[in-house]
Amino acid sequence: MIPVQGVENQTIAVLGLGRSGSATAAALKAGGADVVVWDDGQEARQQAEADGMILADLTRDGGWHGVTALITSPGIPHLYPKPHPAIAEAYNRGIPVDNDIGLFFRSYATADWDRFDTMPRVICVTGSNGKSTTTALIHHILEHSGRPTQMGGNIGRGVLSLEPAQDAEVVVLELSSYQTDLARALTPDVAVLTNLSPDHLDRHAGIGGYFAAKRRLFSEGGPDRAIVGVDEIEGRYLADQLAQGPADDRVIRVSVSQKLQDFGWSVFARKGFLAEWRKGRQVASVDLRDIAGLPGAHNHQNACAAWAACRSVGLAPREIEAAFHSFAGLPHRSQTIAEINGVRWVNDSKATNTDAAEKALQAFDKIRWIAGGLGKDGGIAALVPHMGRVVKAYLIGHSARDFALEIAQTPHEISETMEAAVAAAAAEAQPGETVLLAPAAASFDQYPNFEKRGEHFVELVRKLEAGRS
């Protein structure tokens, strides 16, 4: 645990008692604060009381007695579409609102660092797609190279439940727009933007607000190194804003759609080959095509971002390349589950929007595509140009019939359920084909989250594997 600094004898309120909220309450107490907590869910409040926490109803005036700051969980709206009533009340009272990310950056550095030979570093990764894989890949490379490292944030552990820093340690954090939007302190040593596509637009009142939330990671604290995916206009704008000119190697541009040979530092992938260029010359190259844990151009983008981040903290090309080959990938993200009778089964349940599903479809050929769920605004019309890769689609969930209308020229069936889709795909798939779960939709019609959806798919594939072994 990282005790929060500068809160001794203050009364701090914590709103939301999920993973990050509970860790935040404990870290505040460890820092000497008097902590009161609130959650809208009765079950969470009862558990908090059982754990010895003090409840304060922040929906009533009496709950605010003596409170000097409010720390909120990332999933609770603080501005759009409208603030949670407790947060709105804090604004009315002039009480500062922060989150656990802000507290982490206030508290991570301590007097103990004076005895370290090498200062700890913090790498933060944000973006619309690929940030979890990029974060995990950076962490894996650091571990493989023998560097002390921890991973947390939007993946793994809450930031305040991490351990205090070690000499030469590198902490790798995945940060969502919900986290970067509110944090009052954001001072990473290395900041990464993978890419940007429309998402969470209701929470940020449109694409401009969404990009502004991501941009705060770079503008608030001024990282020593900024790694920016420049395949979208927002990334090119951000890189231009941060750099003093094309030769400024404090900004590392990353791409999978263009060569970037005219900048001070760049990393790009073309036709499966990663290249690092510095000051007009190539300094490293890696063949990514046969790395099982990084299939497709979208994972090549993740590899470029991770390469740049690890080079920024002093790792050698040979160390990074060796670690690439042992990276197994993350569950539910282009995760190869099995090969059964020459058919590859891939779980990309995390592909909850068309942008992510497009990247998954581009990673494979001869696809039997399992898609559907709770569709998002705009449907899947954007995926029609990629239907040439699809042998047949098996559509499930609430939006199955809507999806069928949008891909009418592609062979498809309305399977309704995951069980039916997997059974039909297994019966029809031929050697050399890939059965791909890439739903292009939210899971909430049939599953509580994308993880449960992916786990169900994996369970069904494992049963197939057992039955044919």
Distance CA 282, CA 208 (A): 35
- Interior angle at CA 219, CA 215 and CA 223, nearest 5: 110
The two beta strands, 343-347 and 335-340, are antiparallel
Domains by residue range for the chain, with CATH: 11-98 (3.40.50.720), 103-325 (3.40.1190.10), 335-468 (3.90.190.20)
Structure tokens at 277: 């260029």
Quick check: 211 and 177 in contact, CB under 8 A?
no
206 annotated to bind ligand = no
Distance CA 467, CA 464 (A): 5
Quick check: 265 and 281 in contact, CB under 8 A?
no
Looking at 200, 366, 376, 452, which residue is catalytic? 200
133 annotated to bind ligand = yes
Looking at 78, 131, 140, 456, which residue is catalytic? 131
302 annotated to bind ligand = no
The CA-atom distances, in angstroms, between 448 and each of 53, 373, 374 are: 28, 12, 12
Assess whether 325 carries a catalytic annotation.
Answer: no
- What are the strands, taking DSSP E only, across 114-189? 121-126, 149-153, 170-174
DSSP code for 374: B
Q: Provide the 10 A C-beta neighbour count for residue 255.
A: 20
187 annotated to bind ligand = no
Distance CA 9, CA 35 (A): 10
Q: For 220-256, give the secondary structure using H, E and C.
A: CCCCCEEEEECCCHHHHHHHHHHCCCCCCCCEEEEEC
Distance CA 274, CA 268 (A): 6
Q: Provide the 10 A C-beta neighbour count for residue 63.
A: 16
314 annotated to bind ligand = no
Length of the chain: 469
Q: For 2-16, give the secondary structure using H, E and C.
A: CCCCCCCCCEEEEEC
Q: Provide the 10 A C-beta neighbour count for residue 217.
A: 29
Looking at 99, 154, 195, 299, which residue is catalytic? 154
Assess whether 353 carries a catalytic annotation.
Answer: no
Per-position pLDDT tens, the chain of length 469 = 999 999 999 999 999 998 889 999 999 999 999 999 999 999 999 999 999 999 999 989 989 999 999 999 999 999 999 999 999 999 999 999 999 999 999 999 999 999 999 999 999 999 998 999 999 999 999 999 999 999 999 998 999 999 999 999 999 999 999 999 999 999 999 999 999 988 889 999 999 999 999 999 999 988 999 999 999 999 999 999 999 999 999 999 999 999 999 999 999 999 999 999 999 999 999 999 989 889 889 899 999 999 999 999 999 999 999 999 999 888 898 889 999 999 999 999 999 989 889 989 999 999 999 999 999 888 999 999 999 999 999 999 999 999 999 999 999 999 999 999 999 999 999 999 999 999 999 999 999 999 999 999 999 999 999 986 5
312 annotated to bind ligand = no
153 annotated to bind ligand = no
Distance CA 411, CA 413 (A): 7
Assess whether 131 carries a catalytic annotation.
Answer: yes
